[in-house]
Amino acid sequence: MSIHIEENIKLAPFTTMRVGGNARFFARVKDVDDLNDAIIFAREKSLPIFILGGGSNTLVSGDGFSGLVIKIEIKGIVYKDNRVTASAGEMWDDVVRDTVARNLWGIENLSLVPGTVGGAVVQNIGAYGVEARETISSVEAFDIEKSEIKTFSRDKCEFGYRGSIFKKNKNLIIVSATFELAQHGAPHTDYEDVKKYFEDNRISEPSLAEIRDAIVAIRVKKMPVPPIGTAGSFFKNPVVSAQKYESLKNEFPEIKAYPQGDNTYKLSSAWLIDHVGEWRGARRGDSGVHEKQALIIVNYGNASAEEILSLACEIKNDVKEKTGVTLEEEVVMM
């Protein structure tokens, strides 16, 4: 076995929230052989495993992880015509930046989303009116049970809102993903913040590069600045029935919601937390709600995972009590 297994490694520096205890065992995998070796090691010692990418959507408990944490560092980007195949360990925004530089349309609205390509696929990341699944043509994943690589077409990935088969089936570890992009695309500028940006800058027909610049500017304005820790959007946007939406709209006329085309509405968690619960800017010790974006819970320095979860629980209970809507965490708990 060629892979190097480390012991008792502090996990906080590997996450953007900057909290958490130690991993009993820790392995960095650079290729599929490393990944296979790591799985064999875990199997021989009967260890649970946790797959870690960029750590941008992960909250590690103070107790750490008693098994093997496998950090995916598989790199490589290959272009063929309008297709780009990116390895799971590539940083997502590096891929977006590169595709925009090559004048390939499709994922520009997902600019500056933190994390790796693998994490982007697992979560089916979405932002400003676009989801990753819209351009994914296939995914390669390592099947732990069979110790082999499997290829999944888009339909087989079972993509949903912030989810996929890879999130549900822990025996599948993403190795790479192929995206079908376009040399000539239509800009997605209907999202409120994006539309306002171009109106304010008097740009009526934005170029691909201008769209990326807009998304980056919008996100930078909202996101916490290091060393403040964050795991990004902490909660998903809840989906409710049309009847429930109408009831909420009667009580909260300004509520933000988006029709889903199936007699349901997706509510803005940020709006609920900010305008119903008035949580934006709230603080409990070193854990708090970001003052510029209510959907983001932050670590101001010395917060523990348990303190962050306690704050999240307060928010959930408050929103539930006032609206009857249950918020669900988007962040993955280790």
Q: Which of 216, 232, 121 is nearest to 176 (CA)?
A: 121
- pLDDT tens digits for 268-312? 999 999 999 999 999 999 999 999 999 999 999 999 999 999 999
Average of per-residue pLDDT across 49-70: 96
pTM for the model? 0.92
3-state secondary structure at position 103: coil
Angle between helices 208-222 and 92-101 in degrees, nearest 10: 150
Give yes or no for residue 1 having a pLDDT over 70: no
User: Contact, 311 vs 297, CB < 8 A?
Assistant: yes
Mean of per-residue pLDDT scores for the chain? 96
* Dihedral of alpha carbons 316, 270, 282, 218, sign: positive
pLDDT attached to residue 226? 83
Q: What's the CA gap between 145 and 166, in Å, rounded?
A: 14
Helices (H), the chain: 32-44, 92-101, 117-123, 165-168, 192-200, 208-222, 242-251, 269-271, 305-323
Position 334 pLDDT exceeds 90: no
pLDDT number for residue 282: 97
DSSP state of 186: -
| Residue 326 dihedral angles phi and psi, to the nearest 5° | -95, 120
Reading the block at residue 42, the tokens are 């875990």
- What the block records as the tokens of 276 is 């119903």
User: Of 49-58, 154-163, 183-192, 281-290, where does mean pLDDT reach its minimum?
Assistant: 183-192
Of 75, 3, 73, 81, residue with least CA distance to 37: 3
- Contacts of residue 182, Cβ cutoff 8 Å, sequence gap at least 6: 82, 104, 105, 106
Please say whether the beta carbons of 248 and 323 come within 8 A.
yes
Conformation bin of residue 18: beta by default, left when phi > 0, alpha when psi is -120 to 50:
left
Q: Do domains 5-72 and 229-333 have the same CATH topology?
A: no
Residue 80 CA to residue 25 CA, distance in Å, equals 38
CATH class for the domain made up of 75-222 = alpha beta
Residue 261 has a pLDDT of 86
In this structure, the dihedral spanned by the alpha carbons of residues 108, 114, 120 and 123, taken in order and rounded to 10 degrees, is -120
- What is the per-residue pLDDT for 241? 96
Q: Would you give the end-to-end CA distance of the chain in angstroms?
A: 27
Q: What is the mean pLDDT of residues 73-95?
A: 97
CATH class in words for 5-72: alpha beta
By percentage, how much of the chain surpasses pLDDT 90? 94
Residue spans per domain, the chain: 5-72, 75-222, 229-333
- Structural contact between residues 256 and 275, judged by C-beta atoms closer than 8 angstroms: no
**Residue corresponding to tokens 């649970």:** 48
pLDDT single digits (tens) 122-153? 999 999 989 999 999 999 999 999 999 999 99
Annotated catalytic residues are: 162, 233, 330
229-333 fold: 3.90.78
| Rounded mean pLDDT, 202-212 | 95
